[in-house]
A = this chain, B = another copy of it.
Amino acid sequence: MITNGKEIALIWYEKLKEEIKLLDKKPWLAVILVGDNPASIRYVSQKAKWAKEVWIQFKLIKRERGIQEEELKEDIKKLNNDETIHGIIIQLPLPSHIDTNTIINTIYPVKDIDGFTAINMGKIALWDESGLAPCTPSGVIHICKVNSIDLEWKNVTIIGRSNIVGKPLVSMCINEWATVTCCNSKTKDLKSHTQNADIVVLATGKPWILTKDMIKKEAFVIDVGFTVIDEKIYWDACFQEISENGNPITPVPWWVGRLTVLFIMKNTLKAFYMQNK
């Protein structure tokens, strides 16, 4: 049976803590939060909590929902040029009047903890490990590794083609020699792409798109997506029936969610070292 992601994260946090504790100068992570989306506030507070836990200094910059793109760019440029700040995160989503891609690409690639800038994306595609890789896909690959799943020779089906999960994960799985299929909401006959998969990753935010009849008995399901409707959480997978069917399946909260935050801390330390060579 699969091990608990929370525990794996805790082991890593211990290691990070020991390492950072010994540093004379500590890494600093700055997070910009625009508006007051409750989910964003929750995510930011998770980052603050775990940063503190491992001796990473945390700076929160709050901005009004109505902030203009130029002002936000100025905030980022200040952080880019501030030598005491090693990592910058713009909490997504941003209000619709702001172009997310432009904002993200204003961050210096060496401070881009989320790994969303074009150059960090490209480095993943080129299997160049000198960059900062996106944290959720890194978490997914880590889940496979801790479960001794070698992606070589495996069929991996990824449902979702977002810039933050689906696409970088496709590149990472290709690098690991998996045969990768990337599905989206315009995929004809989803089942034909999941039924032979050894690993299925769900990252759509659409409830219950994967049912037990769509996968092999031994397929490993990694659920990254969820939706909140009327304060109730729905996974992308029919978690209960797939789980009862005997398939190994990992839900978001104790798994990928935990590992995403872990990789944010790991990237912050990597960025710190890159800037203090």
Residues of chain A whose beta carbon lies under 8 Å from any beta carbon of chain B: 101, 117-123, 125-126, 128, 131, 152-153, 155, 161, 163, 166-168, 170-171, 174, 177, 179-184, 186-188, 192-193, 196
Contacts and interface: CB of A to CB of B under 8 A. Distances in A.
B180 A182 contact: yes
B181 A125 contact: no
Given A101-B126, A196-B192, A153 B186 contact: yes
Contact of A122 (B119, B177, B180, B192): B119
A152 B183 CA distance: 11
Contacts of A188: 153, 155, 179
A174 B163 CA distance: 11
Nearest to A154: B188
B184 A179 contact: yes
Instruction: Select the residue from A117, A152, A170, A182 with max chain B CB neighbours within 10 A.
Output: A182
B170 A193 contact: no
A177 B186 contact: yes
A166 B127 CA distance: 13
A218 to B, nearest CB: 14
A125 B171 contact: yes
A64 B247 CA distance: 58
Nearest to A152: B186
A117 B125 contact: no
B118 A168 contact: no
Contact of A170 (B155, B170, B183): B170
Contact of A163 (B119, B121, B125, B152): B125
Nearest to A179: B187
Contacts of A167: 125-126, 171, 174
Nearest to A117: B122
A161 B193 CA distance: 19
Contacts of A122: 117-123, 125
Nearest first, the 6 A-B pairs at minimum CB distance are: A122-B122, A121-B122, A118-B122, A181-B181, A179-B187, A119-B119
A126 B182 contact: no
A118, A121, A171: most-surrounded residue (chain B CB, <10 A): A118
Contacts of A192: 196
11 contacts: A118-B123, A118-B125, A153-B188, A161-B174, A166-B174, A167-B171, A167-B174, A170-B182, A179-B184, A179-B186, A179-B187
Given A118-B125, A179-B182, 17 more contacts: A101-B126, A119-B119, A122-B123, A125-B167, A125-B171, A126-B163, A126-B167, A152-B186, A153-B186, A153-B188, A167-B174, A170-B180, A174-B182, A177-B186, A179-B186, A180-B181, A180-B182
